Amino acid sequence: MSPLLLLLISFIIKACAIDLHSPWTMSAGSTYGSYKFNVLHHLTGISPYFESNSEGLNPDPPQDCTIDRVAYLLRHGALYVNEYDYVSIIEPFLQRLKNASNYVKFSESTDLSFLTHWTSPVSNSREQIAKLSKLGYLEAFSLGTRLAYRYPHLMPTAKDTSFKVWGSNANRTKHSAEALFAGLFAGHETIGKMVNVSENSDRGADTLTPTRSCPNFDVSKGTRQADVWLKNYAVPIIARLNAKVPGFHFSAHDVMAMQELCGYETIIRGSSLFCGIFTSEEWLSFEYYFDIKYYYELGYGNDLSPTLGMPWLVATSDLLAHAKANDQRLYISVAHRQIPPLILTALGLFNDSEYLGTSNVNPVLPLDKINYQRAWKTSSFISFLSQIALERLNCKSTAYNGSYVRILVNSVPKPLPGCVSGPSDSCPLKQFTDYVKQRHKQYEDFTKACGVKNKNVPDAMTFFVKEQTV
Ligand X SMILES: *[C@@H]1O[C@H](CO)[C@@H](O)[C@H](O)[C@H]1NC(C)=O
17 phi/psi in degrees, rounded to 5: -90, 85
Minimum CB–partner distance for residue 170 and ligand X (Å): 8
CB-based contact 57:304 (threshold 8 Å): no
In the complex with ligand X, the residue whose CB is nearer, 103 or 372, is 103
* Shortest Å, Cβ 104 to ligand X: 10
- What's the min distance (Å) between Cβ of 254 and ligand X? 11
Angle in degrees, 0-180, between the axes of helices 134-150 and 252-269, rounded to the nearest 10: 60
User: Residue 261 CB, nearest distance to ligand X (Å)?
Assistant: 18
Give the shortest CB-37-to-ligand X separation in angstroms: 30
CA 185 to chain centre: 24
Pick between residue 41 and residue 221 the one whose CB is nearest to ligand X. Answer: 221
Pick between residue 36 and residue 430 the one whose CB is nearest to ligand X. Answer: 430
Question: Minimal distance in Å, beta carbon 200 to ligand X?
Answer: 6
**3-state class of 361 per DSSP?**
coil
Residues 6+ apart with CB under 8 A from 386: 49, 74, 75, 337, 340, 409, 410
d(C-alpha 207, C-alpha 217), whole Å: 15
40 or 347, CB closer to ligand X?
Answer: 347
Q: What is the DSSP letter of 404?
A: E
Distance in Å, CB of 198 to ligand X, minimum: 4
CA 75 to CA 150: how far, in whole Å? 19
Nearer to ligand X by Cβ, of 40 and 165: the residue is: 165
Question: Would you say 1 or 399 has its CB closer to ligand X?
Answer: 399
Q: Is 81 left (phi over 0), alpha (psi -120 to 50) or beta?
A: beta
CA dihedral angle for residue 53, residue 178, residue 88, residue 338, rounded to 10 degrees: -50
Of 31 and 398, the one with the shorter C-beta distance to ligand X is 398
Query: What is the closest distance, in whole angstroms, from the C-beta atom of residue 443 to ligand X in the complex?
Result: 8
Query: C-beta of 100: minimal distance to ligand X in Å?
Result: 7
Q: Which residues bind ligand X (CB under 6 A)?
A: 95-96, 99, 169, 171, 196, 198, 300, 306, 345, 348, 351, 353-354, 358, 396, 398, 401
The nearer residue to ligand X, 227 or 354, going by C-beta atoms, is 354
Using the minimum distance from each CB to ligand X, give the nearer residue, 23 or 92: 92
Chain-centre distance for alpha carbon 102: 40
Q: Which is nearer to ligand X, 176 or 198 (CB)?
A: 198
As measured in angstroms, the least distance from the Cβ of 374 to ligand X is: 13
Angle value at C-alpha 149, between 412 and 185, nearest 5 degrees: 125
CA–CA gap between residue 14 and residue 382 (Å, rounded): 28
Identity of the amino acid at 349: L
d(CA 45, CA 82): 10
DSSP 237: H
* Gap between the Cα atoms of 470 and 467, Å rounded: 9
Q: 79, exposed or middle or buried, with CB in 10 Å at 0-12, 13-18, 19+? A: buried
Separation of alpha carbons 135 and 121, rounded Å: 14
Cα–Cα distance measured from residue 407 to residue 420, given in angstroms and rounded to the nearest whole number:
11
